[in-house]
Structure 1
Amino acid sequence: MTDIPSERRRGRFWLYAPFALLVLLALAWSGFWFVVKGRVVEGLDRVVAREAQMGRTWTCSDRSVAGFPFRIEVRCAGLTLTSSRWGDTVKVETGPSVAVGQIYTPGLVILEVKGPLQAALPEGRKLDLGWSQFEASLALKEREPERFSMVLVEPNATLTTPGASNETWRANQLDVHLRRNPARFATEQVADLALTAKGSVLPALDALLGTTEPGDVEMQASLTQSLAFKAGFNPDALETWRTTGGQIELTRLLMIKGAARLEASGRLLLDQTHRMSGQIDAGVAGIDRIGGMKVGGLAAGLGGLLGGKPSGGTPGLTPLPPVVLREGRVYLGPFRLPLQPLAPLY
C-alpha cells in the first residue's frame, strides 16, 4: 500500500480547514444564541414575578421565544395586564404582540402590538383604543430605561363612563418620545416629553373652540421627579410625585385647526385633592370664541391686564387671560369655563 505524500496531506488540510472553521463558528454561535435566549427567558420570568409582588399581573398567552440566528423575538398571542394598585381592579388587554432585540445591538428593544386595546378602569369606566399600526422602541443604558418612542397610525379611542356621554378621540398619527434629560436628570430627575398628533379630532375641544376641523398638535414638556414613576403609574407613584414637588413644565403647546391657532406654555401639578392644578399662558389667532366668550374683546383686554401673553411672544397672536386650573375647575382669567369638573386622578 502506497503512503500518501505529506505534501498532498497538507494540501487537503488547507482545503478543508475553512469549512471546518465555519462549522465550529456556527456551533459556537448557536451555543451563544441559546445561552442568550435562556437569559432572556429567565429575565422575563423574574420581571413577571417582581411585577406580581407589586400588584401587577402580566399574562403573555402562548409565549414563544425565537429569532435565531441574530435576533431574540418574544411573541405573545395576547398580552394582558391586571393591576390591583388602583383600588378597583384595572385590566388591560391587547392583541398579538412581539418584542424584538438584535444580538449585535443590546439595549434596544422594538415592540409591535396589534389592536385593539381594551381597558376596564376604576368606577366602571372602559377605554377602547384601536389603531392600524403600533410600533415602539425602548433604549436601555446599564439596564435602566433611557429613551422610549412610540408611533400609532390612525389611533381612535372611546372612553365610556357610566351615566355620562362617551368621550371620543381620533387622529391620523400620534408620535410620542420620552427621554431622560441629560442636563437635569441627575439633580431634578427630569424626563423630557415630545408629542405630535396629526389630524386630531376631539369633540370636547371642538365644542370649546367652535370648530370641527381636524387639528395638528405639538407638545414639548418636562416632567420633574420622574423617578416617582419607576415602579409604575399608580396612586402610590402619583402621591410620591405630588409630595416631592413634581411638576409638568409645559415648554410649548401648539395647536392648529384650520385657520385657528393656539400656542401655550405653563406649569401643572397635583393639588391636595389629587386634581390637576396650575396655570397656562396662551395666545390665539383665528378663533372667534372660547367657551362662548368672544376673543378680541373683553377677553383680550383682560389678557393684557392680567398678564396673559402668547407662548414665546409669537407675533399675530391675541393674548388670553391666564388659563387657571383650581379646585377642579378651569378658569379663563376670572371667568369659569363651562366644562365638567376635573376628576381626581386617584
Structure 2
Amino acid sequence: MARRSTPPDPTPVPDPAPDRKHRRLGLYVPFAIAAMIAIAWTAVWIGIRGEAIRTIDADAAILRKAGYDVAWQDRRITGWPFRMDVAFTELRLREPTGWGFAAPKLEAEAFAYALDHWMIAAEDGFTFTRPRGGPVEVKGRVLRASLTDVRQTPPALSIEGLDVTFASGPGAQPFSLASAKRVELHLRPGPDDQGAILFKVEDGRTAPGSTLGAVGEGKPVSIIWDSILSKVSALKGADLAERSQAWSLAGGQFQVRQAGITAGDASLGAQAGKLALDSDGYLSGSLDITVRNGPQAMVDLARAGRVPPESALAAAAVMAARPDGHLPLTFQAGQTTLGAVALAPAPKLW
C-alpha cells in the first residue's frame, strides 16, 4: 500500500510591523501649524489694537490742542480674532465754533484687516449741539453710520436713522423737526476736487414753535438737499470756521442739483443754483425756486413772529403776481431776500 505524503507546513505569515511614531506625529502637525498661526495672528491683532489706542489718543490730543473738547468715561477695544470693536461710554466732542456731539454709548466696528471701513451705531441715541440753538436729543429705532475712504477729502460717510425723534434740550430753541420716519445723510468724494452731499428727510413731523411748525404744524414734512461741493481740498483749518473761510477764499461753492422742503400744503423747491459761505459764516448766493401755496405760508410765518408782518405781506404780493411760482431766492450780506423783499437773516453755519 502506498504511503500518503505529508503536506508541507504552510509558510508562516509575518506579523505586521507596528506603526512608527512619526506616522502618529503626522496627525498632530496640522493642529500645531494652526496653533502657531493663531498665536501669530493674536500677536498681530494685539499690535493692531495697540496702534488703534495710540491713534485715538493722538487724534484726541491734536483736537484738544486746537481748542476742541474731547472726552469719554470709558473706552474698550475688543473683537478678537478678526474684528476691531471700539466702544465708548459718555463720549463728548465739541468744536470751538459751538457745534457738539455727545453719546451715552457709541460703538464702532471694522475688520482688523480692513480698518478703512467702519460701521458705527448709537443704540441709546445721541445729542448734537447747535452754536446758537442749543442741544437737541436724538433717538431712533435705528441710528447707524458707515465710514470709508477716511484718507480722502471728503471721506465716504453715510448716516441713517429710522423712526427718529428730536427733542430740544432745556432752554434751547425749538428744532424744526419733532420726528421723521427716515433721515439720511450721504457724503462722497468725487473727481476734479469735488464732493457730493445728499440729505433727505421722509415722512417728518414739525415741532411746535419752530419755523417749519409755523407753516405745517402736525402735517407731513419732506426735505431733500442734493449738491456738489467744489474745491474740497481747501477745507483745511483747526475748526469749522477756519475750514469754511479757507474754502470760501479758494472759491468753493455748493452747486445745487435739487433742493426742496414740503411742509403741509406749502412747498419750496429748487433745481439749480450756486451757494457759498461768506467770511462771517452766512450762506450767500442765489437759487431759482418754485413756490407752492406761498402767500398762505407767509401769513403763517408772520403770525408766528418768524417774519416781520410788512415783509410777509410784501412777499405774499410778489408771489401772488407770479402764478407760476418761479422766483429768485437770494442770500446776501447776512439776509434772505425773496425777489426784492428782505425776509429774514440768512442761514448761519457758525
Q: In which range does the TM-score fall when normalised by the shorter chain?
A: 0.7 to 0.9
Quick one: which of 276, 281, 284 aligns to 1:269? 276
Provide the rounded CA distance (Å) in 2 between the counterparts of 1:56 and 1:266. Answer: 34
The residue that corresponds to 1:220 in the other structure is 226
Contact kept, 8 Å, 2:176 with 2:213, in 1: the verdict is no
- Residues 230 and 237 of structure 1, relative CA distance in 2, 3 Å threshold: closer
- Residues 207 and 120 of structure 1, relative CA distance in 2, 3 Å threshold: closer
Give the C-alpha shift of residue 108 in structure 1: 0.3
Contact kept, 8 Å, 2:84 with 2:112, in 1: the verdict is yes
Letter in 2 for 1:100: E
| Aligned CA-pair RMSD | 3.3
Provide the rounded CA distance (Å) in 1 between the counterparts of 2:239 and 2:75. Answer: 25
Contact kept, 8 Å, 2:295 with 2:319, in 1: the verdict is no
- Residues 26 and 272 of structure 1, relative CA distance in 2, 3 Å threshold: closer
Letter in 1 for 2:75: R
Contact kept, 8 Å, 1:115 with 1:130, in 2: the verdict is no
- Structure 1 runs (4+) deviating above 6 angstroms are 293-297
Provide the rounded CA distance (Å) in 2 between the counterparts of 1:271 and 1:48. Answer: 29
Letter in 2 for 1:269: A
Contact kept, 8 Å, 2:107 with 2:121, in 1: the verdict is yes
Provide Cα deviations, 1:94-146, integer angstroms capped at 9, x if missing partner.
111111111243310111124443455556x4212212231111112657663
The residue that corresponds to 1:109 in the other structure is 118
- Is 1:14 the counterpart of 2:26? The answer is yes
- Residues 78 and 273 of structure 1, relative CA distance in 2, 3 Å threshold: closer
- Is 1:234 the counterpart of 2:243? The answer is no
The DSSP-based 3-state class of the residue aligned with 1:68 is coil
The DSSP-based 3-state class of the residue aligned with 2:166 is strand
Give the C-alpha shift of residue 197 in structure 1: 0.9
The residue that corresponds to 2:45 in the other structure is 33
Contact kept, 8 Å, 2:289 with 2:328, in 1: the verdict is yes
Contact kept, 8 Å, 2:154 with 2:195, in 1: the verdict is no
Give the C-alpha shift of residue 12 in structure 1: 1.0
Quick one: which of 265, 280, 285 aligns to 1:278? 285
- Is 1:249 the counterpart of 2:269? The answer is no
Letter in 2 for 1:29: W
Provide the rounded CA distance (Å) in 2 between the counterparts of 1:328 and 1:135. Answer: 35
The DSSP-based 3-state class of the residue aligned with 1:205 is helix
Contact kept, 8 Å, 2:245 with 2:279, in 1: the verdict is no
Provide Cα deviations, 1:47-103, integer angstroms capped at 9, x if missing partner.
1122122112321221111101110111111101243x23xx665421111111112
Quick one: which of 202, 207, 214 aligns to 1:198? 202
Provide the rounded CA distance (Å) in 1 between the counterparts of 2:297 and 2:88. Answer: 46
Provide Cα deviations, 1:242-294, integer angstroms capped at 9, x if missing partner.
22222222111244556655431322222355421221112245666441479
Provide the rounded CA distance (Å) in 1 between the counterparts of 2:46 and 2:120. Answer: 21
Letter in 2 for 1:18: P
Provide the rounded CA distance (Å) in 1 between the counterparts of 2:265 and 2:149. Answer: 42
The DSSP-based 3-state class of the residue aligned with 1:246 is coil
Provide the rounded CA distance (Å) in 1 between the counterparts of 2:154 and 2:181. Answer: 28
- Residues 17 and 251 of structure 1, relative CA distance in 2, 3 Å threshold: same
Contact kept, 8 Å, 1:94 with 1:114, in 2: the verdict is no
Contact kept, 8 Å, 2:254 with 2:275, in 1: the verdict is yes
Provide the rounded CA distance (Å) in 2 between the counterparts of 1:140 and 1:64. Answer: 24
Provide Cα deviations, 1:197-238, integer angstroms capped at 9, x if missing partner.
111233423534x67521222221112233344456522222
Contact kept, 8 Å, 1:138 with 1:145, in 2: the verdict is no
Letter in 2 for 1:207: A
- Is 1:179 the counterpart of 2:188? The answer is yes
- Return 5+ residue gaps in structure 1 as ranges: 304-317
Provide Cα deviations, 1:160-200, integer angstroms capped at 9, x if missing partner.
796x963441312211110111x222xxxx21001111112
Provide the rounded CA distance (Å) in 1 between the counterparts of 2:250 and 2:204. Answer: 34
- Residues 211 and 30 of structure 1, relative CA distance in 2, 3 Å threshold: closer
Percent sequence identity is 22
The residue that corresponds to 2:56 in the other structure is 44
Aligned length: 316
Letter in 2 for 1:184: D
- Residues 115 and 10 of structure 1, relative CA distance in 2, 3 Å threshold: closer
Task: Map 1:26-105 to 2 at 5 A.
Answer: 26-83=38-95, 85-86=96-97, 92-105=101-114
Provide Cα deviations, 1:13-60, integer angstroms capped at 9, x if missing partner.
222212212211211221121111111112112211221221123212
Contact kept, 8 Å, 1:151 with 1:175, in 2: the verdict is yes
TM-score for both structures, normalised by structure 1? 0.78
Provide the rounded CA distance (Å) in 1 between the counterparts of 2:187 and 2:192. Answer: 14
Quick one: which of 311, 329, 332 aligns to 2:335? 329
Contact kept, 8 Å, 2:78 with 2:84, in 1: the verdict is yes
The residue that corresponds to 2:13 in the other structure is none
Provide the rounded CA distance (Å) in 2 between the counterparts of 1:144 and 1:168. Answer: 30
Is the radius of gyration larger for structure 1 or structure 2?
2
